[in-house]
Amino acid sequence: MSSTSEDADPSGQRAAAHPAAANTQPNRVTFNRLELNRILNLYGRMVADGEWRDYAIDFLKDRAVFSVFRRASEVPIYRIEKDPRLARKQGMYSVISATGLILRRGHELERVLLVIDRKLAVV
């Protein structure tokens, strides 16, 4: 039985034969740590109030979406989207209701989230 270079380490040879294979995943839009921290802080407060119960995060090629659900089996009541293509126009952040209505759009996530971030008012 002869030992050829194919018998040595096939996984190493595949990686060497296709060096660009590791970079084949397309670029995706994501939330950075500060953005995700702000969104999850709001989510945590709304869960504590009993208004929200579940969430989903989707990182797509053209946008990132944080969906908020009242129940897991329903459609999202809000979608917080980041679309970098709109950064120089209306702003890359938007909050969209369950009906598809854009509640607010802007350049700063903090200001856009104010549309759903209910502060407690002292009476």
Q: pLDDT digit string (tens) for 85-103?
A: 888 888 889 999 988 899 9
Amino acid present at 67: S
Asked if residue 80 belongs to a domain, the reply is yes
123 and 108 Cβ atoms separated by less than 8 Å: no
Q: What is the per-residue pLDDT across 32-62, written as a single tens digit (0 to 9) for each?
A: 899 999 999 999 988 888 888 888 998 889 8
- pLDDT beyond 70 at 6: no
Residue 102 covered by a domain: yes
Domain count, the chain: 1
pTM higher than 0.85, yes or no? no
Phi-psi region of 50 (alpha: psi -120 to 50; beta: other; left: phi over 0): left
Domain that holds residue 50: 33-113
